[in-house]
Amino acid sequence: MTQKVYDPSTKHPPEYQRDMNPDAAAGINYGTVGHQQARHRMAYNVKEAHRLLGGYTDDVLKQIPILAEGSRL
């Protein structure tokens, strides 16, 4: 079974789409999370983040991902 992906451009009949939802896809990131997801570091391993988040325990810092600049959220 394939999973359907929400497509806002099919929300209304074609003849009404432009009037009912002119910016249907505004702000949507199509596609899947790429290989960047696997390359993130944890706050525990980033010295600056570890210093800024000093009030958190090491166990919590090990659960906070630090994504590379430009990564999709």
pLDDT for 16 equals 80
* pTM listed for this prediction: 0.46
> In terms of residue numbers, what domain contains 54?
33-73
Burial of 50 (0-12, 13-18, 19+ CB in 10 A): middle
Q: Is residue 33 predicted with pLDDT exceeding 60? A: no
pLDDT for 20 equals 79
Where helices occur in the chain by DSSP H, the ranges are 14-20, 47-52, 58-61
Tell me, yes or no, whether 13 lies in a domain: no
Tell me, yes or no, whether 16 lies in a domain: no
Task: Look at the chain and report how many structural domains it folds into.
Answer: 1
